[in-house]
Amino acid sequence: MKRMKILLAAYLCFGMTLFATVNAAAYIDPSQVTLIAQVIGGIVIALGATFYIVWRKIKKKASKVLGIDENAGKEVEEDIVINEEEDGCADNSEDDTSSDKTDEKK
């Protein structure tokens, strides 16, 4: 019964669009087409980002419930610390004093 109602509604909608159309002499401005394309693109990107965020949250909760560690197979690099003395910054001050000594010898 419910399926019949859906088919009847679809048939009526299709029939109305087929027979109730009026030819219109309309002009679509190219800038409007660009605007519509931008709106559709923005909606698609927003829906994709929303889907991705929701998917990550669901995946994180499922992993937590099932006891699955996401970082189990990943390698972790150790932090690299650079001191200023190793950089060569401290060497510049020694170079200045050595040039003063050579000037004194002259």
Confidence at residue 52, expressed as pLDDT on a 0 to 100 scale: 97
Confidence at residue 96, expressed as pLDDT on a 0 to 100 scale: 52
Confidence at residue 98, expressed as pLDDT on a 0 to 100 scale: 52
Q: What is the pLDDT of residues 63-104, one digit of tens each?
A: 889 988 877 788 888 888 888 775 555 555 555 555 555 555
Concatenate the DSSP letters of all residues of the chain into one string.
-HHHHHHHHHHHHHHHHHHS---------HHHHHHHHHHHHHHHHHHHHHHHHHHHHHHHHHHHHHT--TTTT---PPP----HHHHTHHHHHHHHHHHHHHHHH-
Q: Is residue 18 part of a domain?
A: no
What is the residue range of 58's domain?
28-70
Instruction: Provide the domain count of the chain.
Output: 1
Q: Is residue 83 part of a domain?
A: no
Q: Is residue 32 part of a domain?
A: yes
Q: Is residue 3 part of a domain?
A: no
Q: Is residue 80 part of a domain?
A: no
Q: Is residue 58 part of a domain?
A: yes
Q: What is the pLDDT of residues 3-55, one digit of tens each?
A: 888 888 888 887 777 777 777 777 778 888 899 999 999 999 999 999 999 99
Q: Is residue 62 part of a domain?
A: yes
